Amino acid sequence: MSNNLSPKERLAIGRAIMPAQDPEARSRNFSEVNLGLSLEQAVREARRCLDCKSRPCVGGCPVNVSIPEFVTALAEEDLPRAAAILRGDNALPAVCGRVCPQESQCEARCVRGARGESVAIGNLERFVADWAMAHADTLPEPPRPPASGKEVAVVGCGPAGLTAAGELARKGHAVTIFEALHDTGGVLRYGIPEFRLPKEIIDVEVSRLTGQGVEIECNVVIGKTLTLQQLREDFDAVFIGNGAGLPTMLGIGGENLKGVYAANEYLTRINLMGAGQSPDCPTPVIRGRRVAVIGAGNTAMDCVRTARRLGAERAMIVYRRSEAEMPARIEEIHHAKEEGVEFVMLTSPLEILGDDGGWAAALRCQKMQLGEPDDSGRRRPVPVAGEVFDLEADVVVNALGTRANPLLTATVPELELNSWGNIEAQEGGATSIPGVFAGGDIVRGGATVILAMGDGKRAAEAIHARLS
């Protein structure tokens, strides 16, 4: 079958189904859930693309990947071209192909979605990126641009910083990333579990950037080890992408009992430090027989699915609204259900009850019902009078979200912040300090990997314009 298909023939092809590990087996291991499309599947899926003139998918992508172009190259089985196009637009395609909420971005705008199912753009992106990784030796090195003589400091080695660094390096600027933790990737590494984004993928994507000349210095906490002012003196521009690393506390009784975690701590122990994944890991984590995760976003799904893998008999999502309002990606919810995660909906935690030894024992909950729509347009959960019950739980994970970490911003009074403590940044990331740009969660609050990457990309353009 060539790519010379009529629209009718293209329309006749059904959407490829992503192969996945068996749910029962995978709920006990940390290997990646999705196994990736085969070449045949990927090419066939690519041929579902109508290559329409309006290209709405591109506008749905925060980094404006040339989607029809790379998909067409794949449909023509020209993988090197597909890889070159994709990598030209996206610094971390193997990451995006795995964790982007495509269903609400590029795929939501796909014309094929209007009648039937959109092209599986995310799965195709993953396929091409993985192919490019596996065939790195055979692909031509991207041309090294002439050195601009300008130096840029990037604060934070997460998705925003990595993207900004990659884009700036491609324009010939000397880039140094300063990372507070001992390893690269930021939230990609400490936040997203292995079964959704293998660490090896991060390692390869990061080494591709260092191969392009990007310097990465770990263990440097800007605001502590070095000040922003020092970076401004030593570099021609600074990009701040240090994330929203500050957990929101529950503010209910029993929060300091043993066995109670903020999602950041729970995930960091397991993802960054390796707790629970090998018997001799020096960093411990409490496994829990009954684990209650409060919240229903992607982080909550990551926590609850992790708890299941650590052996929890009951791994529960506790959420005050109903299933329809859950902010997590549909795929994550679907996967969680397949893995035996329980969804305790319309339930609001009142207090964590402890045992005599100071350990969490149960979550006291208030039954809720949906009332009138609130400001967000979602129906407001209201308590059902008299319906209070206890849910047994020896581990409770609070996944209510994160806020801006003030570690850096508190040391720079002249940097304008909003009332939430996020950096005020214009389109292109310019802040109130000339030459200092910002993007990602430190500007947006808790958002997504791809929005952070979009910020990094646009800020890199703005920085390049300023330095040229």
Partner 1 sequence: MYEVLSNEVLAPDLHRMEIRAPRIAAARRPGQFVIVRADRGEERIPLTIGDADGEAGTITIFVQAIGGSTRKIAAVPPGGALRDVAGPLGMPTEIEKRGRVACIGGGVGTAVLYPLAKALAEAGNEVTTVIGGRSEPYIILADELAAFSREVLITTEDGSLGRRGFVTSELEAMLADPDRCPQEVFAVGPGPMMRAVAEMTRPHGIKTMVSLNPIMIDGTGMCGGCRVEVGGESKFACVDGPEFDGHLVDFDTLADRLTMYRDHEEACRIGRTQERTVTP
- The verdict on 247 binding partner 1 (CB under 8 A) reads yes
Backbone angles phi, psi at 209, to 5 degrees: -70, -45
Sole binder of partner 1 in the list 5, 136, 221, 353 (CB under 8 A): 221
CB of 190 to partner 1, least distance (A): 8
Residues between 340 and 359 that touch partner 1 (CB under 8 A): 358
Q: Return the closest-CA partner of residue 393 out of 259, 224, 300.
A: 259
- The verdict on 72 binding partner 1 (CB under 8 A) reads no
- The verdict on 284 binding partner 1 (CB under 8 A) reads yes
- The verdict on 368 binding partner 1 (CB under 8 A) reads no
Q: Which is nearer to partner 1, 11 or 246 (CB)?
A: 246
CB of 420 to partner 1, least distance (A): 15
- The verdict on 404 binding partner 1 (CB under 8 A) reads no
- The verdict on 259 binding partner 1 (CB under 8 A) reads yes
CB of 428 to partner 1, least distance (A): 27
Residues 6 or more apart in contact with residue 245 via CB below 8 angstroms = 187, 264, 402, 405
Determine how many CB atoms are found less than 10 A away from the CB of residue 394.
Answer: 20
- The verdict on 229 binding partner 1 (CB under 8 A) reads no
- Separation of alpha carbons 162 and 156, rounded Å: 8
- The verdict on 282 binding partner 1 (CB under 8 A) reads yes
Sole binder of partner 1 in the list 220, 344, 353, 447 (CB under 8 A): 220
CB of 251 to partner 1, least distance (A): 8
Sole binder of partner 1 in the list 253, 274, 327, 383 (CB under 8 A): 274
Tokens representing residue 383 in the block = 């308590």
Q: What strands, in cross-sheet order, belong to the sheet with 151-155?
A: 215-217, 174-178, 151-155, 237-240, 436-438
- The verdict on 406 binding partner 1 (CB under 8 A) reads yes
CB of 158 to partner 1, least distance (A): 12
- The verdict on 225 binding partner 1 (CB under 8 A) reads yes
CB of 47 to partner 1, least distance (A): 45
Sole binder of partner 1 in the list 31, 219, 418, 468 (CB under 8 A): 219
- The verdict on 192 binding partner 1 (CB under 8 A) reads no
- The verdict on 200 binding partner 1 (CB under 8 A) reads no
Sole binder of partner 1 in the list 31, 38, 229, 256 (CB under 8 A): 256
- Separation of alpha carbons 112 and 467, rounded Å: 42
Count of residues engaged in binding partner 1, rule: CB under 8 A: 38
Tokens representing residue 224 in the block = 């502590």
- The verdict on 364 binding partner 1 (CB under 8 A) reads no
Query: Phi/psi zone of residue 6: left (φ > 0), alpha (ψ -120 to 50 degrees), beta?
Result: beta
Tokens representing residue 138 in the block = 């055979």
Strands 174-178 and 260-262: unpaired
Residues 211 and 252 sit within 8 Å (Cβ to Cβ): no
- Separation of alpha carbons 219 and 437, rounded Å: 22
Binding residues for partner 1 (CB under 8 A): 180-182, 190, 218-221, 224-227, 245-247, 249, 255-256, 258-259, 261-262, 264-265, 268-269, 273-274, 280-284, 286, 358, 405-407
